[in-house]
Structures are given as structure tokens and as C-alpha cells.
Structure 1
Amino acid sequence: MSRAGKGGRVCALGVAGVLAGTVLVGCGDDDSGDGAQDTSAKAGAGAGGQGTQAVRSAYDRTADEDTAKVKLRVRTSAQGASQTANGQGVVDLDDGDSVMTLAVQGQRVEQRVIDQVLYQKLPKGQAPGGKPWIKIDLGKVIAQQGAGDGSMSDPAQSAAYAKAITDKDVTEKGKATVNGVETTHYRVSVDVADLPNGDTLRKQVGPTLPMDVWLDDEGRMRRQQLDMTVKTPEATQRSSSGASSAPEKVTVRTVMDFTDFGTEVQADEPPADQVTDMTGKALKQGEQQS
């Protein structure tokens, strides 16, 4: 697999998160006190060529480690209410396979991604068909979105924009300690129109997509933070029909940490007789939102 291909797989968890309802998209400063300690009094006005190259190569350098432990925090807010989801597990940075446990509103969800297929074991009594597991074929959903390779399906479009950014897109924000590791914090601004399926994405999230990354001394990603405000499909339809002048929006903040590079990843498919295939439903939802 090419380096660019491997680099794009770093955010494979983001693909699963989107389909699972924990949208891993967007960016911004995380003020939740989750372990990053700023050690620089002021941020630089720009990263310059060295910082830009560091951000460009971060996905590849992280993927070179093959595997890692991952911890994520997702906060979704809409209409004055918010919901927080936390997850932890391990991910294969090469092929995107992962095993995670998610906690949402006090309920536990086991999640696996194997060969671009998402499996989730929902709380007892919540899975359709009387079976404990559901699955969604991410490859088919990706094809419907017209994004091509699976690495391009994450809204952050990691491999695509990482190679396209210029010095004006990257700002060095200073030094910070993340999970005990000294890092450099960069903020990246991406022109959404330059991303695959950018015209559609632009309607949902606006013209630019900011992202924050914290890179260690070896150029590996230790934290990726995303914030995005998304206009809901229903609001888009009302706006186009003139029925409403105040579109509903959903704001999602996600922080994803990488630690313990080289951790073993053992991702096994659940027994077929315990799985309900929800791919068809996911495809229908995609058609309605397109």
C-alpha cells in the first residue's frame, strides 16, 4: 500500500463514527480539560514551510507505526441540548480495522471495523431483528457518496487536504503536553471546495473546514481535534422551499488521541447468525440526505 493510502487510513474511525451517529468531523480549541496543557505563552502567526510540511506528513508518519491505542470524545449539541460519547480501543493504522468500546448516555456499545465493514453490538433489546449485532458495509456507503477510495469517506478528508495545504493554511499555536508527551499544536484551515464531493459538503458545513492537530517530536499525530456545525438535511429542505428562515444546525466537537503505538489489534467478525445487516437502511438514508 502506498504511503498516501496508509496515511488516509488514520481517520478510518471517523468513517465508522459518522455511520454510528458519533460524527467525527469539524475542529476548534478543546476547553474541556482533557489532558492537554499549553506550555507556550503565545502562538506563532504562521507555521512557515517547516510546519506546513510537518502537517502534510503527519498522517503518513502516524500510519508508519501500524497500530495504536485510540481514545475519543464526541460532544454533539443541537437546540440547546448536548450529548457526550466517549470511546477507547485499538486501531490498525494501515488497513483501518479497529476494536472499540463506546459509552453513550450511560449505555455501552461494542464496535468493530473489519475490512471496511462496521459492526456494532447494541445494548440488550435495542438491536433490530432480535440479534445482538448490526453491520453496515462502509464500502457500499462510500461508493454511494461518490468518494471513491474508503480513505476519502471521512469528512475531514485527511489524505486529500493534507497534501494540498499551503503555508497560508497552517498556523502554529504553540507547545502543549498531551497525555504526558510534548507536542506542537497546529491549526489547519481547509477549503471545502477542494475536497472530494466538496460542493455537497460545502452546503452542509460552509466554505472552510478548520482542524487542530498536536504532533510529537517524531511528527506523529498525538491528538486530532475537530469541530463542525452541520446544517441538517431537513433544515436544508425547508430553507430551499422558503418555509423557514432559521435552519436547524448540529454542532459536533470531537477529540481523538493516539497512544501506545505498536499495540496488538485483534478484530474478529461476530458470528453471522448474530448479525443484522443494516446496509440497505444506511443507503436509503444517504439517498434522502443527498
Structure 2
Amino acid sequence: MKSWVKYVKDYKTYLKIERGLSVNSVTNYAFDVQRLTDYLQVNEMEISPLQINEDHIQQFIYHVAAELNPRSRARLISGLKSFFNYLIFEDYRKTTPMELIEVPKIGRKLPDTLSVNEIDQLIAAIDPQKDEAERNIAMLETLYSCGLRVSELVTLKLSDLFFEEGFVKITGKGNKQRFVPIGTSTQKFINLYRDTKRNKITIKKGHEDTLFLNRRGSGLTRAMVFTIIKNLATAIGLHKIISPHTFRHSFATHLLKNGADLRSIQLMLGHESITTTEIYMHLDRSFIKQVLNTYHPRR
């Protein structure tokens, strides 16, 4: 499938340079196209990206339907649409073979959340006798109080902390930066870790500015943060499937329930579109009713 290699390579460069997507996002988009090329190769269909038509795509979608759930199929179709729209953008094609491809109807998946009490229990379950206790407490407090993605947490730098102003600088998806307020309580937990534990670690070259370090002086991985949270959930007998992202969802949900407006929540979460933030409106319909009864002139 040599005819696809150049176009996919250029497409990845476009996603990275012009759209500013992260490495993970670029890899996922390229994988969608790879699925299609693998299918064509297995079925000995020598068709270039400029020749492929709707019938070929439809056959491929039928083929993968058995192994993918509706949400995954929708994601795949979205990825292929992006690729062929790129080919049109670069004048390689005049039309897209995705025009009439139907996207499976899927319900919006509502994120799991934790109550304030459950978050307190998780943090209280951190063993104070362990060397990493102060670090783990500071990490979970930061996840929850700032609503960070786990990738944003593990790449947080000392130079990103503007405690006098009450903000932290966050580098999010596509290297977009935003400033998020940070409370004095969370600042104290970070300072405690920094001044009593972090300063005793032999730091590896390149990680001098990284805030949260492992015992070897390197930055933490996302998987390590996930494992820490999973173990704490087991320790308190929490019967929910949670991850670092659950703290982010809880941050947004608790803000909304306490009267914060969606625009402010959008800015703090770093959502490009308000539509992404609106999913939190579906979490608590009693809140929506309360807003109507409080603010509508005909309440």
C-alpha cells in the first residue's frame, strides 16, 4: 500500500503542525487510516487514497462493525472523515467518499463522579508512613481542586506555579496554555511536598523543573497516577470504576452544582468548545430545575 504512505505521512505532519494536536491524538487519527489500509491490503484491493470511493468505505465499515461497538465505529468514521477532508483541503481530491456514510447513533456517555466525602476518604487512605505520602496527597488535591487532565498533572512544572497570584499555568491539548485558579489549601499541600520530600530526591537531568517526581528523580507516568488512585479506591472499598479523569469530572460537576456558570468552567477545564462542557448539565437535572426556579422571571 505504498500509495497511502506519503499521504498519511503528510497528514500526520498537518495534524501536528497546522492543527497543533498532541502526539497521542496524531497517533489515534493515523491509526484510523491504518485500519482502512490494512483492510484493503488483506482483501488485495490496490486502491489509492485518491481513487477510493463510497462503496469501498461502506464495505470496510460493514467489515469492522462486528468487532467495534457503536461508539468506536463513530470514532473511526470521524477519523476517516478528517483524513479525506485533509485530502480535499490540499486539493488532492475534489470530493470525499465519506459524504453519505452514516455515523452510528450513540447516547452521550455521562462521566462518573465522586462525592466530596468520597474524595476526602481517598485522600485520607494515603498511608502517612510512606515516603510518597506528601506527593500523593498534593497530586490528588491538585487534580481535584484545579480539574486537570492526568497528562497536565504529570507535566506540571515548578515554573508553572504562580502562588502569589493564586494561579497555575497549565499546558493542555495542542500545547494550548491556560491559567487555572488554585486555592491556598492546595498550595499548602504542594509546598509541604516540595519543601519536605522533593528537595531530598536526586533529580535526573531534564526533570529539574518537573513538580511531581518518582523516587528515581524522574517524572511520573500517567499509568502510575492511575495505579495510585486504583489502589486507594480498593483500600476504602469504593465500588466505582474511577481514574484520574474522575477527579476532573467531579471538579466540574461540583462547581456547577454550587452555582458556577458554564463559561467559567469551560475556561478552567480548557475545553475548546462549550458543547463539551455542556455534558455536565446532564448530570443533575434537579440543578437545572433549581436554576429555572431561581432566575426565570416567570418562576
TM-score (norm 2): 0.23
Flag the structure with higher helix content: 2
Q: Answer 1 or 2: higher relative contact order, Cα 8 Å, separation at least 6.
A: 1
User: TM-score with structure 1 length normalisation?
Assistant: 0.24
Which one has a bigger Cα radius of gyration?
2
